[in-house]
Amino acid sequence: MQSAVCLGEHVAIRACHDGFPAIMVFDLNRDPHETRDLAPDHPELAAAAMAKLEAWYARQMAKSADGIDPIWTVLRETAA
């Protein structure tokens, strides 16, 4: 499972499972197949993207009747 957010020509992906870096950033214009992760060399892009994603997440959770994120529920249930 993962979450993604766009920042202009960049996309940032937050992975919620093993086997991938926690945060990856790609330049969609120069790297449309997302083969070169820019996050290690551009932590400012990763930080800006995660701030945008966290703000969106907070707005969505504020609408939740029970305050439980269904993504984390699924991750807990499928971890074995």
Report pLDDT digits (tens) over 17-41.
677 778 899 999 999 999 999 999 9
Choose between 16 and 33: higher pLDDT: 33
Half-sphere exposure of 15 (CA within 13 A, CB side): 11
This prediction has a pTM of 0.74
d(CA 76, CA 80) in angstroms, rounded, equals 9
What pLDDT score was predicted for residue 65? 80
Question: What CA–CA distance (Å, rounded) separates 38 from 46?
Answer: 8
Q: Look at 69 and 36; give whichever has higher pLDDT.
A: 36
**Number of domains forming the structure of the chain:** 1
> Residue 15 belongs to a domain with what CATH number?
3.30.1120.10
Residue-number span of the structural domain to which 72 is assigned:
2-78
